Homo-oligomer: A and B are copies of this chain.
């Protein structure tokens, strides 16, 4: 054996040691990063219990059985400024399972909203979310779907995943959250949820970044997304974000909208407080209108009409909601051009008592996202009902023709 060879061996061995040492630093950090899974949520008040402050909701008399949050699965469509924060909130609350849908990738232009970080630029939004969320709470089960739900070939798999509650057939998801930024995707969620009879919550922010809203949709019992033009909080710009426009956005408005959405999910799943049917937010004036929109008896969506027929003996009970509308009150359809009934509960008071039970066309500060039918003749005009056969592409084609 030559000296040269011996030297080579020694220096190689040293290099290996050095590399192993360097690597161990990263790997230690990596192993440190993951907390171990927790089988049972504990109320124990210790610094190492991630659930102590949530389980305290029981002691405070707010939630009767917090642990059952582990039984629920929620689908979040659109993991952007609202969807990602909603996903993080539900993850930190220990939700059972999240199904995440988004076809987009993270870019630096997303950094003015919460959640994604510069090092994730270029990653798919679902992969980046999975990495962040599973690190935060490994007790939550995640499934990622990186596709566009509005395309013909993905709508059926989307429907399938919602009704299976994931990739393997189990029970349907308990709730679908629409956190998308365009009309087509909202229509797809609406179609899927009407067809599968799954409750969903819609969310949106305005192009000018200073208003947002959430809305709870119960197929056949509240207005669906096609029963009426989308309701928005009136502000400078009247449209929900349009495709192709560089909309402004703020982490504040997005965070508040996500907070209202996730809070509504918790209230609905864990049965506390009043679930909001529509909660709007105007940042400029700190104005938060609430209301309920009943189904349009002439809705153009066939599945909405099927669900309305199914629930005709079981109309929306407005008890235990933030709209304490008297169920005994005779149903009266406000005289508006959409033929739908809008029940406003914009926070109001008078000298006598709080009067929330007023029926009116639209609450103060609320407007339709689109122009009225006499200006635009959209499909939702009740005089111009579009026949829908459950085929979303056909629906889109017809809507785009309007």
A22-30, A171-179, A307-315, A375-383 - interface stretch: A22-30
**Which of A87-95, A146-154, A187-195, A388-396 has 4 or more CB atoms under 8 Å from chain B?**
A87-95
Instruction: Enumerate chain B residues within 8 angstroms of A208, measured Cβ to Cβ.
Output: 57, 60-62
A33 to B286, CA, bound (A): 37
A274 at the interface (CB under 8 A from B): yes
Binary per-residue interface labels of chain A (25-69) against chain B in the complex, 1 for a CB within 8 Å, 0 otherwise: 010010011110000000001111111111011011110000000
Contact with A112, one of B53, B207, B255, B354 (Cβ below 8 angstroms): B53
Q: Check if A248 sits within 8 Å of B283, measured CB to CB.
A: no
Judged by a CB distance under 8 angstroms, whether A329 is at the interface is: no
- In the assembled complex, the CB of A37 is this many whole angstroms from the nearest CB of chain B, namely 12
In angstroms, Cα B93 to Cα A348, docked, is 34
Question: Cβ of B246 and Cβ of A61 under 8 Å apart?
Answer: no
- In the complex, A216→B153 CA distance in Å? 52
Check B255 against A255 for contact (C-beta < 8 Å): yes
Indicate if the CB atoms of A62 and B109 lie closer than 8 Å.
no
For residue A346, CB closer than 8 A to chain B, the reply is: yes
List chain B residues, Cβ under 8 A from A207: 60
Q: Which of B57, B59, B256, B290 contacts A256 (CB 8 A)?
A: B256
Stretch touching chain B among A155-163, A261-269, A296-304, A331-339: A261-269
Question: Chain A, 251-273, contact with B by CB distance < 8 Å: what is the 0/1 string?
Answer: 11101101110110011000011
Per-residue interface assignment for chain A, residues 78 to 101, with 1 indicating a CB less than 8 Å from any chain B CB and 0 otherwise: 000000010011001100000000
The one of B32, B109, B247, B272 in contact with A50, judged by C-beta atoms closer than 8 angstroms, is B109
B23 touches A12 (CB 8 A): no
User: Once bound together, how far apart are the Cα atoms of A136 and B266, in whole Å?
Assistant: 29
A5-B1, A8-B9, A23-B19 given; A49·B108 CB < 8 A: yes
Interface residues in chain A, defined as those with a beta carbon under 8 Å from any beta carbon in chain B: 1-2, 5, 8-9, 12-13, 15-16, 19-20, 22-23, 26, 29, 32-35, 45-54, 56-57, 59-62, 85, 88-89, 92-93, 107-109, 111-114, 117-119, 121, 135-137, 207-210, 236-237, 246-253, 255-256, 258-260, 262-263, 266-267, 272-274, 276, 279, 283-290, 322, 346-350, 354, 364
Closest 6 CB pairs of A and B: A273-B284, A256-B259, A56-B248, A19-B19, A47-B107, A252-B263
